[in-house]
Amino acid sequence: MIQFSLVRARAIFVKEFKHILRDPFTLVMALVLPLMIVLVLGNSIEFNIRSIPMVYNDADRTESSRQLIETFASSNYFQPRPVNNPNDGFDEILGERARAVLIIPPTFERDLYAAHHGASAQILLDGADNSSVIAITNYLNTINQNAMLKISDGVSIPADLTLRTRYMFNPELNSQWFSVPGLTAVIIALVAIMLTTLTICREWERGSMEMLLSTPATTLEIILGKVIPYAILSFIGFILVFIVGRMVFGVPFVGGYLTLILGTGLFILGYLAIGLFISVSTHKQDVAIQFACIVGLLPALVLSGFIFPVEYMGRSYRAVSSLFPARFYIDLSRDQFLKGSSMGDLWPQMGAMAAIALVLIIACLIRFKRTLE
């Protein structure tokens, strides 16, 4: 039985690293692509809807109605403009030139100050876009409170309770503070799985892998020698994304570097193992790319919690998401950037990623061994 040799593994590592340095495509994939993705998506992804086109019909034309409209305009969430009558407002929504219509009745101010009476104004929303309706409804609650404070300045208007909300860890609800740490997981997953999948499949198609398998090197030595260079490249890509997140987008980092480095290492190891398993199973670049996108990219986007909270998914989808390291790394990344929990608090995420990586590596060894037969 051939024993594991660090010398043979190092030789394969050096050969693979020299090949990477001579391959501009691999370097672009590992170093340039992550920067392009984080710069484009970091600026384009916005979970807070702003500048919502809104029209209003003010039939009251009083100081109170003007203050209500000014509250909408000063919130930075709405861009109000007047229309002549409510029917024109409905036509604006129908023509998709507005998302909301504010209709102020002619008795608005009189009803507002009348004893035991309440004033009301109507809001019409475009319910065809469900995601924006939910956001607009949340904005309206805050705008309603701010409008009451502005209108009641110096005038006694009864109020039973005032709630003051404070947002922890992200006081301004900055979408980039939320999206960039999650985007880090998506970028690393894409780069890691593509690097190992394409590169090793290229070896199979060119016939050089068969020559490598004919050497005394064991399966474990070949896997380590081929994967470690791409683990280093993937980690360099993570460092670049981290720097861009801190310097360009101003995302704070309050956690521990050791915790983030360890979690990132386990995450990269898991996705390198996924790419390796795909490559040793398919041996074809075109087929491997399709599997890499389906198995690597789509779960990292849809099932990881990057866009949709995992807690609100169905039980079966939550179970499927737990099979991928991105599900746990996004929680860890966002925690370290914004909360700063200790490594002891994050041991479930660490343990899950370590277990997934271990299972995948064992599967790669078994699959690789079968290929040799």
Q: Parse the chain into domains and list their residue ranges.
A: 6-45+173-372, 52-151
For the residues 66-87, what does the mean pLDDT come to?
88
Separation of alpha carbons 57 and 73, rounded Å: 14
Q: How confident is the model at residue 128 (pLDDT cuts 50, 70, 90)?
A: low
Q: Work out the end-to-end distance of the chain between its first and last CA atoms, rounded to an integer number of angstroms.
A: 16
pLDDT score for 157: 52
pLDDT score for 175: 79
Q: How confident is the model at residue 52 (pLDDT cuts 50, 70, 90)?
A: confident
Inform me whether the pLDDT recorded for 213 exceeds 70. yes
Who wins on pLDDT, 317 or 263? 263
pLDDT in tens, 6-15: 888 888 889 8
Separation of alpha carbons 90 and 218, rounded Å: 72
Q: What is the mean pLDDT of the chain?
A: 83
Q: How confident is the model at residue 4 (pLDDT cuts 50, 70, 90)?
A: confident
Separation of alpha carbons 115 and 242, rounded Å: 58
Contact status, residue 338 vs residue 253, Cβ threshold 8 Å:
no
Separation of alpha carbons 254 and 339, rounded Å: 6
Who wins on pLDDT, 191 or 207? 191
Point out the least confidently predicted range of 147-161, 240-254, 274-288, 353-367. Answer: 147-161
Inform me whether the pLDDT recorded for 158 exceeds 50. no
pLDDT score for 347: 92
pLDDT score for 150: 76
Q: How confident is the model at residue 236 (pLDDT cuts 50, 70, 90)?
A: very high
For the residues 28-44, what does the mean pLDDT come to?
83
CATH 3.40.1710.10 fits 52-151, yes or no: yes
Range among 36-45, 69-78, 160-169, 249-258 rated most confident: 249-258
pLDDT score for 162: 44
For the residues 100-123, what does the mean pLDDT come to?
80
Who wins on pLDDT, 101 or 371? 101
The amino acid sitting at 48 is N
pLDDT score for 2: 61
pLDDT score for 95: 75
Instruction: Decide: residue 24, CB within 10 A, 0-12 exposed, 13-18 middle, 19+ buried.
Output: exposed
Point out the least confidently predicted range of 88-102, 110-124, 257-271, 327-341. Answer: 110-124
Inform me whether the pLDDT recorded for 27 exceeds 70. yes
| DSSP secondary structure of 35-66 | HHHHHHHHHH--SS--SEEEEEEESS-SHHHH
